[in-house]
Structure 1
Amino acid sequence: MTETIAAAVALGPSGLVLDGSEQVRLCASLFYFRIPRESWASRLEAVRASGYDLVDVYVPWNFHEVAPGRWDFEGRRDVAAFLDLAHAAGLRVIARPGPYICSEWDGGALPAWLTLEEGLRLRQAEPRYLAHVEAWFDQVLPLLAAREHGRGGAVVAVQLENELDFFDCEDRAGYVGRLRDLALRHGVSVPLVACAGQGDLTGATGDVDGVAPAFNFYPDDRSSFVEPEVRRYADLVADRGLPLLVTETNRLHATLRRLVVSGAKVVAPYLQASGYDFGWTPSVGNWGDPGGFMSHDYDFGGYLDPVGAARPEHAEARVLSAVLRTLGPALARASAEAAPGAYTTDVATSASPSRLVLDGGGELLGVPNLTEEPGTVTLPGPADGSPEVTVPLPPASCLLVLRDLPLAPYGLPGTLRLATADLVGAGPDGLALSARGTSVVVLEVPEGVAAAELAAPAPGAPVRATLEAGGAVWNVVVLHPDDVGDQCAAPPAEGEPVLIETATRLDLGTRTGTTTRHDLPPSSEGVGVYRGRTHYGVDVGGLTELLLQGTSDIADLTLDDDVRPTLARFGASVVVPVAGARRLEATVETWGHANFDDVRLPALQMGSLRGLGRVWSVVGREDVSALWEVTGQGTWSGDPAPLRTLAGWSSTRAGRPVTYRRGLPVDGRSHHALRLDGVEGSASVVVDGITHVVTQDEPWLSLAPGEGANVAVTVPHRPGAGLSAELLRLEPVRGWDVEPQPDVALLALATTDSTGERVSLPLDLAPGVEAWFDAEVPAGGLSLRFEGRQVRVSAFANGELLGRVWLGDPARPRFTGGDPTRLWLPAAWNTGAVRLIVRATRGEESALLGRVRATVVQE
């Protein structure tokens, strides 16, 4: 059986070869976990209609292990059924089971409870972590192996890990090697790949035998240096006898064309098929400053919008796919080279253009227009002494110019000397081209040459011509790109939204659990809240201020009856005045876990836990900005070292590191926190021989009892700059009443029958109020846009959390991914009503729950 699979799937210089078929392949990201199961088949068909023949599919570990040891592969988690549907649609699958996937998904798919285990280190060749990975692979790899191409399934490659070169893995070879061994043990016979996020193929693969490097490449679409960078990657893997696999990249086909002509054999734009983050699945920390929240929409402008409707780029997909199929093995076996002087343009273009030397004769040249303005390109004539050819170069495009292609393999006479339109079909009946503007075609037989300038076609109105030379006849048709391939339905026109102006405020509590006493505030995960929220309460009578460290993601604090503004600062330390208050109540909601390892803030680090964090009573403060000794090579300071204020040394050596040392007035018994105000970027702080990094986003350093007798701070010298330093003495706040409210508890409330009072929207709400509402909605798939300010809304339907919106609150972090005010209600989940839990927050304006605009959109 293994030999049969090896014959069905091979990885060689010409790319991913399936059943002996050599072809440059396009691959669309399509994630079953972001699409309702009822839409899987139609979404796969829409991808197939684009001409792409591959889909890449992440398989998120924590989507299937919903609690420690509790696995779920049913319903919309039935990945096996999705893979079977992909096979039925004629698509092949690159499966990506992680264990880490990134994908802006909660924790990068690593389960939230892993780091509760003392000593466990994520993404390392560490026994405790690998034991959990093995349990996951024991579940998922047999599903993939049973569905390999060659065994009657869709899977043609399996990706191990994801962008490991971004992460400080200490033993890459040991880690990736262990993942490879697990895959082989479970009978995976298709090629194994590992993708580099920033071009470091060794950092991604550990140079492990049997694991092929791939590249995720996200250039600026207007960069003039795409071609030489891609050619370098192609050369690197060619030295290993492997093809260039671009497993993630931009979505514009103008850019994808540049990758193809530069040597890529598999091109997988991320994300061509958009979707939604249902439930508590978005991650945090994505491209923010420094952090951000992912929206319910998971949409970066791919050729299918979140409900599956085709965008204009779908037509570009069909054209490029047709070109790749038409040129077939000749293109797959082609080699890329620089093409200096191959053309001239009147617009910005590549700094080093690429062309492919086709196997069997001919070449394909890429001519990008990197501007939003129309231009022209002038090409040398198709033979020595023939006149130059000038044709339009549309905005933001990449013209593929075909030269000297022998036509005998297509059952046609002669040679295609020049075509400035895309060759989308060829056979005994003639040539099919595609263009948006005028184009030139030159055909030749030994007895003569036929040339024609062909007018621009219009949608539904192709341009036809018959060319003759030396007794040879060629029928030529030029199609508008919209007419190439199988078109998807156009995006449905959204009708006028239905305004939902009433709701039923339910007589239903928003908390149902009981509290338990804890000495110190536990993490949410420590009390079983991997998704959901945790409620905390503690007496603070007699305290003056608190220091909160590591609070994340969303914390709503109330001091007695005083509701405070929401905290959503990704674990940054916060001082909270509490003088005169008797009781602190806090609700901490998990938006998601970090999917990237970002050291700038505590909650952005991979594996960081959620909850209230550490809570201290501040019992003393002391200014320690002065009396620092100036030391370090190149400072010109003498012996004995002078004393200066922190960062107050003056030198002509701007930008050079200067080290300041002193002992802090710690008492040896208490916890302390050192705050460095004025840090620009980051500073290195060595405490008793151990190095720490303090950043401008988190200028705090925790000191355990006994630490701080010897501190060294190193910062670049900046004339006129200065730092202030303060030492806080701390005592832990003890005696916490804690109520966990995991996702299953909230979902149970969302399906509890309840009566209530009819209310009109907009509705004023007092800060801190939290209440359930039922809202009637029209039938069908709905785009729900929420209005309001100083409120957070979670919407439930069909036993699921659709998603969350946070409206009009200055405390709200930056959102990325899509419209942060919109939620999608799939038609199959629409029972005629949605249930909302609404929390009013405090701000400069009063809280207001506004109307809901429900727009029916055909899925």
Structure 2
Amino acid sequence: MSRPTVLTHGVELDARGIRTEGGPRIVLCASLFYFRLPREQWRARLEQVRASGYTCVDVYLPWNFHETAPGRWSFEGRRDVAAFLDLAREAGLYVIARPGPYICSEWDGGALPAWLGLDPELRVRQHEPRFLAQVAAWFDQVLPLLAERQYPANGPVIMVQLENELDFFDCEDRTGYVTALRDQALRHGITVPLIACSGQGDIEGATGDVPGVVPACNFYPDDDSPDIEPEVRRYAGLLAERDLPLLITETNRRHRTLRRLLASGASLIAPYLQSSGWNFGYTPSTGNWGEPGNFMSHGYDFGGYVSSTGAERPEYAEGQLLARVIDALGPRLALATSALPRVGITADFPTSSSPSALDLDEGGQLVAVPHLGKEAGTAVVNGVPVAVAPDSCPLMLVDVPLRPWGYDGTLTLASADLVAAAEGVLTFSSEVPVTVVVDGTGVEIPAPVAGAPERATIEGLILVALAPRDAVRLRGVDRDGTAHVGDPATARATGTSVDVREARRRSQTPAEKAAGGHELPPTLESLGVYRGRGTYRATADLTGVDELLLVGAADIVDLSIGGAVRPTIAGFGAAERIDVRATTGPAAIEAVVEIWGHANFDDARLPALRLGALRGLGTLWTVRETADVSALWSVHGHWTGRPAPVRVLGGWSSTRVGVPVTYTRGIRSDTASALHLKGVAEPVRVSVDDGEPFTVHTEDPWVLLPAGTHRISVTVPHHPSGAGLGAELLGLDPVTGWTCSTQDDESLTAFATEAAPGPEIRLPLVLEPGEEAWLDIDLPPSHDGLLVRLDGSRIRVTGWADGECVGRVWVGDRPAFSGGDSNVLWIPSGWPGLTLLVRGAAGPGDAELRTLWLESPDS
């Protein structure tokens, strides 16, 4: 296997780690995204990361945030990424820049522009000329900005990541694709290392094994797993064979786990997501976790050490403490190599199945001893019993020469974190007693409490133990062991909730842009709406029609038939049967379709969750007739002979449990039809007319067929008790003759910003299903901004402040949500005014906005 060539310019990578002009270093990196924060908060958030002890931020650059429409670029205001990078340098931070083209990040479309899907020949994330031409246009814009700000000459950028977790995606020519991206980066003068991260451990799948592209790894283990260390050490060893360090570009946020990764050989540790933010505007994705299909919330927060509003959580101090350990050991740790402990370790608490150690430069080992339990425990390290706090991972030093710290001896064992070392003085952090052994002489230092350091000496070597709360505020230690600790931070007082019941209701509504007539419903993107919503109108004769079939609708569909508003549909493109027996004759049909966001992952189970899938109403059909076609399927496979047995679908009996068996049948319909495979619990393979097989999932067990006779094959894993399958054929006629109108995100934002307020009203506000109200709310001033919570039922609310959409909240029955708090809007400090668009939904009970609660964020 060829070794990647590491391109260096002030940054060097090899098996012993990362070197910059400042020397070898361990890099702690926090994700911090300019596009998820108000610009006026960039500096403070960057300085907050630096104060945590982390020395780097990783930054996605979302393509579709900067190319707002085909060929229309914006790098101003909150899009001024160059200014953000310059601020990072001023804050003393390195930057790992991640321009994609695909970023995932639970962002609309994974940052791929929605209009790419309009070209049926263009294939995203492939070595394909149409896609690569679009990527080149993006890279022509963004890579010069990065090249100008590379370390060390003019900026903080120490690495540039190409693509993101490509090993999750079915890329046909990985080597060709990644090579094309690499070549574009080189053409634009990128000289710092180019990296590519594997999302599920397939190094070659992420990089194509392309020379000049350094593999990195993302790990998301169970924090309580005892098996983290051997998995991570395996990758450290694989990369060391290529003379490369282990770069962990994403992982869990918990510092107990980060310590285990450090001890297992990681030179870069970048937990995702340490510093949280917000998905302003129409930028959240339809998510890649769950049932499937959920909506990413506007609050982008996964429990990292800084909340979406900037509040520091208790884990923030854990980051500061780990950074102090890294600083105290300096080059010794930065040049360490992955190993196993050279001393025996046992414990009376749950711990690693195979603990990790690092062979330190200049001798000795750092050994991680994770306590995965909840009760205090004792470990025996090289025969010495030591106390270990629950839910911790002390980084113990074993057989470390002390001469560099002014003492002629060896630190045989230290059971706690070393947070500072000076001539003749070692300072540790612990919440339990600390055991220190020097040249065979041991001492146990009592557990320190905050504000009361403990001290001991061994033959002139002064040992100081600080409580973690003091260790993170340590200013220095005198030669006599006196520790100087800074004052604790003073928390700002937070206000109580305020109930708001007054608003002004606008008499105007935003104009719709006519989008022409169409035989079948077009996609919103084909109408020029990449974020926003559209309205579809048609008339259908429902005489004798019992139901409609809606296929491919996404994302949020409010459908009314004959003036009756139906419950909101949010099925991510799955076929939806709609009962219309209460309506007969010609009936007006209207559908308002809102884009929540494009899929950020490639989930084949539902049509709208495929990467690059378009949005809109889909196709609406009247169901002309239905027929049960569960019987008369021929069976093929196992020991079946000729002529083929005929059974009901899934009804073959065999001892070959789990072995696929195929059922075939001819099906005829004089019109287009839909085959409904009922009872699908596990994915099944289907082919039509002996064509290429495709997979049908339980989430959308439908197959659309053109008019005529077809041979259908269904292959299922055999179960002795029967597969429980059935089949139903629906004869279909399309609803045609649609007129469309649109409101994109820009036009809605312009109306929210510019339209005049109306007369005063008092909440509660009750709406009819499908009715909308535009409300203006007066907000009190707030130093840290305001969280707005909505008390109501069966409403969807979109909010704007200071000319920006701050988010959307769905109150009442709704699909699953992921991310941060999906029930609040955040109004940043200095963003004046609040305008709400409130839409009522159908269902039991009233659509009602009862009140708004204003809260000050925790600070």
- Given that residues 624 and 726 in structure 1 are in contact (C-alpha distance below 8 angstroms), is that contact kept between their aligned partners in structure 2? yes
| CA–CA distance in structure 1, aligned partners of residues 209 and 7 of structure 2 | 24
- Given that residues 537 and 739 in structure 2 are in contact (C-alpha distance below 8 angstroms), is that contact kept between their aligned partners in structure 1? yes
The CA deviation at 1:395 is: 2.0
1:798 maps to 2:802 = yes
1:478 maps to 2:465 = yes
Correspondence for 1:617 among 609, 616, 622: 622
| CA–CA distance in structure 1, aligned partners of residues 455 and 307 of structure 2 | 34
- Given that residues 778 and 854 in structure 1 are in contact (C-alpha distance below 8 angstroms), is that contact kept between their aligned partners in structure 2? no
- Given that residues 25 and 324 in structure 1 are in contact (C-alpha distance below 8 angstroms), is that contact kept between their aligned partners in structure 2? no
| CA–CA distance in structure 2, aligned partners of residues 429 and 850 of structure 1 | 67
What is residue 644 of structure 1 aligned with on the other side?
647
| CA–CA distance in structure 2, aligned partners of residues 56 and 518 of structure 1 | 45
1:51 maps to 2:53 = yes
CA RMSD of aligned residues (A): 1.8
The CA deviation at 1:732 is: 2.3
| CA–CA distance in structure 2, aligned partners of residues 147 and 518 of structure 1 | 49
Deviation string 1:261-315 (CA, Å, 9 cap, x unpaired) is 1111111000000111111111112312111111111111111111222111111
* Structure 1 residues 489 and 734, CA gap change in structure 2 (3 angstroms): farther
What is residue 316 of structure 2 aligned with on the other side?
314
The CA deviation at 1:844 is: 1.6
Tell me the TM-score normalised to structure 2 length. Answer: 0.94
* Structure 1 residues 7 and 74, CA gap change in structure 2 (3 angstroms): closer
Deviation string 1:529-568 (CA, Å, 9 cap, x unpaired) is 1011111110013352322111011000111221100000
The CA deviation at 1:413 is: 3.1
- Given that residues 309 and 492 in structure 1 are in contact (C-alpha distance below 8 angstroms), is that contact kept between their aligned partners in structure 2? no
Deviation string 1:195-242 (CA, Å, 9 cap, x unpaired) is 000000000000000000000100000001100000001011111000
1:660 maps to 2:656 = no
The CA deviation at 1:849 is: 0.6
- Given that residues 668 and 707 in structure 2 are in contact (C-alpha distance below 8 angstroms), is that contact kept between their aligned partners in structure 1? no
The CA deviation at 1:851 is: 1.1
Correspondence for 1:627 among 626, 632, 657: 632
| CA–CA distance in structure 2, aligned partners of residues 299 and 493 of structure 1 | 23
Deviation string 1:754-785 (CA, Å, 9 cap, x unpaired) is 24232222222221111101111111210111
Worse overlay, 836-845 or 569-578: 569-578
- Given that residues 225 and 350 in structure 1 are in contact (C-alpha distance below 8 angstroms), is that contact kept between their aligned partners in structure 2? yes
What is residue 844 of structure 2 aligned with on the other side?
844
The CA deviation at 1:705 is: 4.2
* Structure 1 residues 441 and 690, CA gap change in structure 2 (3 angstroms): same
The CA deviation at 1:5 is: 9.1
| CA–CA distance in structure 1, aligned partners of residues 841 and 348 of structure 2 | 56
The one-letter code sitting in structure 2 at the alignment partner of 1:463 is E
What is residue 385 of structure 1 aligned with on the other side?
none
Identity %, equivalent residues: 55
Correspondence for 1:416 among 411, 421, 441: 411
- Given that residues 378 and 385 in structure 2 are in contact (C-alpha distance below 8 angstroms), is that contact kept between their aligned partners in structure 1? no
Worse overlay, 372-381 or 580-589: 372-381
1:783 maps to 2:774 = no
Alignment of 1:301-700 (within 5 A): 301-339=303-341, 342-381=344-383, 388-391=384-387, 393-428=388-423, 430-444=425-439, 450-465=441-456, 467-469=457-459, 473-485=460-472, 489=489, 492-542=492-542, 544=545, 545-578=547-580, 579-580=583-584, 582-632=587-637, 634=638, 636-667=639-670, 670-688=671-689, 689-700=691-702
- Given that residues 635 and 647 in structure 2 are in contact (C-alpha distance below 8 angstroms), is that contact kept between their aligned partners in structure 1? yes
| CA–CA distance in structure 1, aligned partners of residues 591 and 210 of structure 2 | 48
The CA deviation at 1:493 is: 4.7
The CA deviation at 1:722 is: 2.2
Deviation string 1:161-181 (CA, Å, 9 cap, x unpaired) is 000000000000000000000
| CA–CA distance in structure 1, aligned partners of residues 158 and 757 of structure 2 | 53
- Given that residues 326 and 424 in structure 1 are in contact (C-alpha distance below 8 angstroms), is that contact kept between their aligned partners in structure 2? yes
| CA–CA distance in structure 1, aligned partners of residues 60 and 696 of structure 2 | 35
> Aligned with 2:509: secondary structure?
coil
- Given that residues 15 and 242 in structure 2 are in contact (C-alpha distance below 8 angstroms), is that contact kept between their aligned partners in structure 1? no
| CA–CA distance in structure 2, aligned partners of residues 461 and 68 of structure 1 | 63
| CA–CA distance in structure 2, aligned partners of residues 625 and 676 of structure 1 | 9
The CA deviation at 1:475 is: 2.4
What is residue 710 of structure 1 aligned with on the other side?
711
The one-letter code sitting in structure 1 at the alignment partner of 2:396 is V
| CA–CA distance in structure 2, aligned partners of residues 7 and 540 of structure 1 | 67
The CA deviation at 1:494 is: 3.2
The CA deviation at 1:672 is: 2.0
| CA–CA distance in structure 2, aligned partners of residues 493 and 623 of structure 1 | 67
Equivalenced residue count is 833
The CA deviation at 1:511 is: 4.1
> Aligned with 1:267: secondary structure?
strand
The one-letter code sitting in structure 2 at the alignment partner of 1:540 is A
* Structure 1 residues 492 and 372, CA gap change in structure 2 (3 angstroms): farther
- Given that residues 197 and 216 in structure 2 are in contact (C-alpha distance below 8 angstroms), is that contact kept between their aligned partners in structure 1? yes
Deviation string 1:662-704 (CA, Å, 9 cap, x unpaired) is 111134xx32211101011211001122211111000011223
- Given that residues 554 and 608 in structure 2 are in contact (C-alpha distance below 8 angstroms), is that contact kept between their aligned partners in structure 1? yes
| CA–CA distance in structure 2, aligned partners of residues 490 and 297 of structure 1 | 26
The one-letter code sitting in structure 2 at the alignment partner of 1:134 is A
Could you list the runs of 5+ residues in structure 1 that have no partner in the other structure? 382-387
The one-letter code sitting in structure 2 at the alignment partner of 1:648 is G
The one-letter code sitting in structure 2 at the alignment partner of 1:296 is H
What is residue 384 of structure 1 aligned with on the other side?
none
The CA deviation at 1:7 is: 4.9
Worse overlay, 85-94 or 355-364: 355-364
- Given that residues 125 and 175 in structure 1 are in contact (C-alpha distance below 8 angstroms), is that contact kept between their aligned partners in structure 2? yes
* Structure 1 residues 464 and 110, CA gap change in structure 2 (3 angstroms): same
The CA deviation at 1:253 is: 0.5
The one-letter code sitting in structure 1 at the alignment partner of 2:219 is F
| CA–CA distance in structure 2, aligned partners of residues 813 and 264 of structure 1 | 39
> Aligned with 1:710: secondary structure?
strand
| CA–CA distance in structure 1, aligned partners of residues 9 and 102 of structure 2 | 30
- Given that residues 782 and 824 in structure 1 are in contact (C-alpha distance below 8 angstroms), is that contact kept between their aligned partners in structure 2? yes
- Given that residues 533 and 743 in structure 2 are in contact (C-alpha distance below 8 angstroms), is that contact kept between their aligned partners in structure 1? yes
The one-letter code sitting in structure 2 at the alignment partner of 1:679 is V
The one-letter code sitting in structure 1 at the alignment partner of 2:238 is L
* Structure 1 residues 490 and 210, CA gap change in structure 2 (3 angstroms): farther
| CA–CA distance in structure 2, aligned partners of residues 376 and 280 of structure 1 | 52
| CA–CA distance in structure 2, aligned partners of residues 280 and 148 of structure 1 | 32
Deviation string 1:461-513 (CA, Å, 9 cap, x unpaired) is 32233x142xxx22222222222345995664532111111211111214443
* Structure 1 residues 102 and 241, CA gap change in structure 2 (3 angstroms): same
> Aligned with 1:690: secondary structure?
coil
The CA deviation at 1:606 is: 0.4
The one-letter code sitting in structure 1 at the alignment partner of 2:843 is G
| CA–CA distance in structure 2, aligned partners of residues 329 and 313 of structure 1 | 26
* Structure 1 residues 560 and 489, CA gap change in structure 2 (3 angstroms): farther
The one-letter code sitting in structure 2 at the alignment partner of 1:396 is D
| CA–CA distance in structure 1, aligned partners of residues 602 and 568 of structure 2 | 25
The CA deviation at 1:455 is: 1.8
The one-letter code sitting in structure 2 at the alignment partner of 1:573 is A
Deviation string 1:588-619 (CA, Å, 9 cap, x unpaired) is 00110000000000011100001101222222
* Structure 1 residues 219 and 493, CA gap change in structure 2 (3 angstroms): farther
